[in-house]
């Protein structure tokens, strides 16, 4: 009879891993480090080895993490897309090499070492040299069709280079990673910090979340990158070279982006030397790298060695330990965000970490401080999560001094003194004062930003002056600014003052969705704002809407907007100061341009379009904008509610599904005829 303790622990581990898989693969928002996650899976694998009768066929140790999301068409890989076994140990890497030598009965093996990119795994397919499909790994067998989003990646060619020395197979799947550079990640976080929004944790999470946006125009605003390095299905199979090194050369000859640093190695010493060299180089690379991948170079020998249910037996990932450093926690300060969230920040004795000097680190929230028992004066261990944002990992209790006392989280806003609150179901502690100066600054900066009203001249420095002078306490105050007051802000500011006032006046007739986005309603981004603008047509109608406008008989009334978002919107306007803001904006002459303004843009009202394939003269974004301007909606997936599928060259699975469901399929010319 099995020991009940291992059985109980194995059940706990399966539940914990499932929870973390959901956060990592589907929500792109993990709450533990990769190392901590790997340790959970290793513990479960060890218990399964010791207790084989308790091991389950569908154990997370035997399958690939599933990254599929709602809203995307699923596509079956022609050849399984697997994950990699990994190690943090040089000895285990040597044992991996020794195992291959034993199995193949030879010691003259060549290995290929390349950086392990910390991004989202993807498979791109070219047929007769043209890009036809991009699919995420999914569960290894089926993934999400993200072709529309992948086409926004500037370095991904729509057609392979046929002028090089490498011949192009009829069909070839090439595997790689979509990622975000550290520079782009920092740019986006700097914008969010200026708007008082929560910062993204690391480039990998942001890249994965961006790829899974249903609105390709949002994806295009963020500079995603891609590298390609692996083989998938090929037709004819004899078309590809027989070594990993040669395949890399072909990928480059086809004009595809690939990793610049790679090594050939002929022994365990060579492999570990290459890994050590990469470890030295990785902080200077543009892309986030969390390890090295070691592959058997011969593709023929790869086939001989084979694979397990989830990973090739001829490859192993060596993962780098996240850099950590001990330092003194000098203080804990509280930042106030646009929504009033009080966010704790650790002020540290400066310390060198991953090539930079770190003096501040995130503490996330009140619960996190209490859980880790972090106190001012403690010696703390700091880690760079994703090598970007420093975070306090734990306290060195052996070095704790008697005078270190538990941190008392503020019960009032540190800026305006208003009593803080914590809403039911939320982790954040908030300042409820809508006129708190910090909140006002960040709300106005968001409202005027390029992503919202795009009011030129109303940047962070100008907003700070307006709030400091008490001329702007709420968004509507922008429309009451006086020229004489603005002229007092400095010398020779007449022209800039006139330009700013003109820009503010012009914003009164901006598109409705920009106003909705600019209001800063929780959970409502640009894509949702466009949906709301199409449905409600005015700020007043949106402000007066009830939950029945969003959810009826437990079903979403508006595609893409469910109960959570509906509650956020109605809750926002239920607050008196927000309802008053709408009244004041309308009173001052704000008259947003609705999607159906002037009798135009009504012909596609209530109709849903899906775009697939390459159109002759329009990009996907251009076609989507034309449809939306005509009152229609563009969706990423085909369903029975789809009105038309607009198909171009190399249309994929969406076309097949449309034909199966009987959805009408049209081409670009027919779309233009409908618009005319």
**What digits encode the pLDDT tens for the residues 95-121?**
999 999 999 999 999 999 999 988 899
Residue among 183, 179, 296 at smallest CA distance from 243: 296
pLDDT for residue 601: 55
Q: Does position 4 have pLDDT exceeding 60, yes or no?
A: no
Q: At the fourth CATH level, which superfamily is domain 324-432?
A: Nucleic acid-binding proteins (2.40.50.140)
Token output for 396: 């060195």
* Range(s) within the chain of domains with CATH label 3.40.50.10190: 599-675
Query: What is the torsion angle, in degrees rounded to the nearest 10, for the CA atoms of residue 636, residue 640, residue 642 and residue 646?
Result: 80
508: pLDDT strictly greater than 90? yes
Selected from 1.10.645.10, 3.40.50.300, 1.10.10.10, 3.30.470.30, the CATH number assigned to the domain covering 74-319 reads: 3.30.470.30
Instruction: Work out the average pLDDT over 316-343.
Output: 89
- Taking 70 as the threshold, does the pLDDT of residue 467 lie above it? yes
User: In sequence order, what are the residues at sequence separation of 6 or more whose Cβ sits closer than 8 angstroms to the Cβ of residue 638?
Assistant: 73, 610, 645, 654, 657, 658, 661, 663
Across the chain, mean pLDDT equals 86
Q: Reply yes or no on whether the pLDDT at 354 is more than 70.
A: no
The boundaries of every CATH 3.30.470.30 domain in the chain are: 74-319
Is 2's pLDDT higher than 60? Answer: no
- Per-residue pLDDT averaged across 506-511, rounded? 94
Which phi-psi region, left, alpha or beta, contains residue 21 (left: φ > 0; alpha: ψ -120 to 50)?
A: alpha
- Of 126, 140, 133, residue with least CA distance to 60: 140
If we measure between CA atoms, which residue out of 330, 385, 340 comes closest to residue 360? 330
Instruction: Report which DSSP code applies to 24.
Output: I
Q: How far is CA 614 from CA 120, 168, 263, 323, in A?
A: 24, 20, 37, 44
CB 591, CB 539: distance < 8 Å: no
- Mean pLDDT, rounded, for 60-78: 80
Q: Which CATH architecture has domain 4-62?
A: Orthogonal Bundle (1.10)
* H or E stretch covering 328: strand 324-336
Instruction: Please report, for residues 112, 260, 265, 268, 305, the alpha-carbon distance to residue 274 in angstroms, rounded to integers and kept in the order given.
Output: 10, 14, 8, 10, 23
Output the six-digit token pair for 408.
């008392």
Separation between Cα atoms, residue 463 and residue 483, nearest integer Å: 15
Is the confidence at residue 598, as pLDDT, over 50? Answer: no
Contact 56, 13 (CB under 8 A): no
Query: What pLDDT is recorded for position 607?
Result: 87
Please list the residue range(s) of the chain that carry CATH number 1.10.150.20: 437-509, 512-594
116 carries an active-site annotation: yes
Q: Can you spell out the DSSP letters for 97-162?
A: HHHHHHHHT-S---EEEEEEE-SEEEEEEEETTEEEEEEE-TTSSEEEB-HHHHTT-TTS-SB--S
Which of 272, 292, 267 has its CA nearest to residue 282?
292
pLDDT of residue 315: 95
**Percentage of residues in the chain with pLDDT exceeding 90?**
45
Helix 460-468 crosses helix 437-448 at what angle (to 10 degrees)?
Answer: 140
Active-site option among 8, 41, 63, 116: 116
- Distance separating alpha carbons of residues 538 and 521, to the nearest angstrom: 16
CATH code that applies to domain 437-509: 1.10.150.20
- For CATH 1.10.287.610, list the domain ranges present in the chain: 4-62
CB atoms within 10 A of CB 589: 10
C-alpha torsion sign, points 530, 532, 538, 543: negative
Q: Is the pLDDT of residue 636 over 70?
A: no
DSSP 3-state of 263: strand
Spatial distance between the Cα atoms of 290 and 276, rounded to a whole number of angstroms: 13
Helices then strands, each counted (H, E), the chain: 23, 22
366 and 341 Cβ atoms separated by less than 8 Å: no
Query: Helix, strand or coil for residue 272?
Result: helix
Q: Name the residue among 45, 67, 53, 59 with its Cα closest to residue 15.
A: 59
- CA distance between the termini of the chain: 76
Residue 432: is it exposed, middle or buried by C-beta count within 10 angstroms (0-12/13-18/19+)? Answer: middle
**Residues of the chain with pLDDT > 70: what percent?**
93
pLDDT digits over 510-554, tens only?
999 999 999 988 878 777 888 898 889 999 999 999 999 998 877
Contacts of residue 554, Cβ cutoff 8 Å, sequence gap at least 6: none
Asked whether the beta carbons of 447 and 475 are under 8 A apart, the reply is yes
Q: What pLDDT band is residue 386 in, cutting at 50, 70 and 90?
A: low
Average pLDDT over residues 441-470: 91
Average pLDDT score over residue span 198-217: 78
For 626-637, what is the mean pLDDT?
78
Tokens of 204: 């990998």
Task: Name the burial class of residue 414, with classes exposed (0-12), middle (13-18) and buried (19+) by CB atoms within 10 angstroms of its CB.
Answer: middle
599-675 classified as CATH 3.40.50.10190: yes
Question: Which residue shows structure tokens 């003269």?
Answer: 617
Q: What are phi and psi of 326, to 5 degrees?
A: -90, 140
The confidence score (pLDDT) of residue 355 equals 62
User: In this model, does residue 420 exceed pLDDT 50?
Assistant: yes
Please name every residue paired with 615 in a beta bridge, in sequence order, or none if there are none.
Answer: none
The pTM score is 0.56
Asked which of 87-101, 245-259, 265-279, 647-661 is least confident by mean pLDDT, the reply is: 647-661
pLDDT above 60 (res 169) = yes
Decide if pLDDT at 211 tops 60.
Answer: yes
DSSP symbol at 606: T
- Which CATH number applies to 512-594: 1.10.10.10, 3.90.870.30, 1.10.4190.10, 1.10.150.20? 1.10.150.20
| Helices 203-211/182-194 angle, 10° precision | 80
pLDDT for 457: 92
Q: How confident is the model at residue 479 (pLDDT cuts 50, 70, 90)?
A: very high
Q: How confident is the model at residue 259 (pLDDT cuts 50, 70, 90)?
A: confident
Query: Is 293 within 8 Å of 320 (Cβ atoms)?
Result: no
Say if CB 172 and CB 240 are below 8 A apart: yes
338-362: burial string, b at 16+ Cβ within 10 Å, e else:
bbbbbbbbbebeebebbeeebeebb
């Amino acid at each position: 009879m099995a020991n009940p303790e291992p059985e109980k622990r194995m059940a706990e581990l399966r539940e914990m891993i499932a929870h973390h898989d959901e956060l990592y693969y589907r929500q792109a928002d993990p709450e533990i480090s990769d190392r901590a996650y790997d340790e959970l899976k290793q513990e479960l694998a060890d218990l399964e080895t010791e207790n084989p009768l308790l091991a389950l066929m569908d154990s997370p140790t035997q399958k690939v993490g599933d990254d599929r999301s709602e809203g995307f068409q699923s596509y079956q890989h022609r050849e399984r897309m697997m994950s990699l076994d990994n190690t943090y140990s040089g000895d285990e890497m040597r044992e991996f090499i020794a195992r291959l030598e034993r199995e193949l009965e030879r010691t003259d093996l060549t290995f290929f070492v390349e950086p392990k990119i910390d991004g989202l795994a993807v498979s791109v397919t070219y047929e007769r040299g043209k890009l036809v499909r991009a699919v995420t790994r999914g569960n290894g067998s089926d993934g999400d069709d993200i072709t529309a989003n992948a086409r926004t990646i500037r370095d991904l060619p729509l057609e392979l280079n046929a002028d090089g020395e490498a011949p192009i197979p009829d069909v070839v799947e090439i595997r790689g990673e979509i990622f975000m550079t550290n520079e782009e990640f920092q740019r986006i976080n700097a914008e969010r910090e200026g708007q008082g929004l929560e910062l993204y944790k690391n480039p990998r999470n942001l890249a994965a979340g961006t790829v899974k946006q249903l609105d390709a125009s949002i994806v295009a605003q963020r500079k995603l990158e891609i590298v390609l390095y692996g083989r998938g299905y090929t037709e004819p199979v004899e078309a590809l070279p027989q070594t990993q090194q040669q395949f890399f050369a072909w990928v480059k000859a086809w004009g595809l982006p690939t990793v610049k640093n790679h090594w050939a190695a002929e022994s365990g010493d060579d492999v570990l030397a290459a890994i050590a060299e990469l470890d030295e180089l990785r902080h200077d690379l543009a892309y986030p790298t969390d390890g090295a991948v070691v592959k058997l170079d011969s593709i023929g020998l790869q086939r001989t060695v084979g694979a397990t249910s989830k990973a090739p037996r001829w490859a192993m990932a060596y993962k780098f330990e996240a850099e950590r450093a001990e330092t003194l926690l000098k203080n804990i300060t509280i930042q106030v965000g646009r929504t009033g969230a009080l966010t704790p920040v650790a002020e540290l004795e400066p310390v060198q970490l991953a090539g930079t000097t770190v003096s501040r680190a995130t503490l996330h929230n009140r619960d996190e401080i209490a859980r880790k028992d972090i106190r001012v004066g403690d010696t703390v261990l700091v880690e760079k999560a994703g090598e970007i944002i420093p975070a306090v990992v734990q306290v060195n209790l052996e070095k704790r001094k008697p005078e270190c006392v538990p941190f008392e989280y503020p019960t009032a806003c540190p800026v305006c003194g208003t009593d803080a609150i914590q809403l039911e179901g939320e982790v954040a502690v908030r300042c409820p004062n809508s006129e708190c100066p910090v909140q006002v600054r960040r709300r106005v900066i968001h409202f005027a930003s390029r992503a919202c009203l795009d009011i030129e001249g109303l940047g962070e420095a100008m907003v700070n002056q307006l709030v400091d002078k008490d001329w702007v306490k709420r968004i509507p105050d922008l429309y009451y600014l006086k020229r004489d007051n603005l002229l007092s802000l400095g010398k020779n500011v007449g022209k800039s003052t006139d330009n700013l006032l003109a820009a503010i006046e012009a914003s009164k007739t901006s598109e409705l969705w920009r106003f909705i986005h600019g209001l800063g309603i929780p959970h409502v981004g640009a894509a949702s704002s466009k949906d709301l603008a199409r449905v409600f047509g005015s700020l007043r109608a949106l402000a007066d809407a009830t939950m029945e406008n969003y959810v009826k008989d437990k079903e979403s009334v508006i595609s893409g907007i469910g109960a959570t978002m509906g509650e956020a919107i109605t809750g926002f306007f239920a607050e008196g100061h927000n309802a008053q803001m709408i009244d004041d904006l309308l009173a001052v002459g704000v008259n947003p341009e609705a999607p159906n303004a002037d009798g135009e843009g009504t012909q596609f009202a209530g109709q849903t379009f899906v775009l697939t394939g390459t159109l002759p003269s329009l990009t996907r974004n251009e076609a989507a904008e034309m449809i939306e301007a005509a009152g229609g909606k563009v969706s990423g997936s085909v369903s029975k509610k789809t009105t038309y599928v607009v198909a171009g060259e190399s249309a994929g699975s969406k076309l097949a599904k449309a034909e199966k469901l009987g959805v009408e399929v049209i081409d670009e010319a027919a779309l233009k005829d409908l618009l005319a």
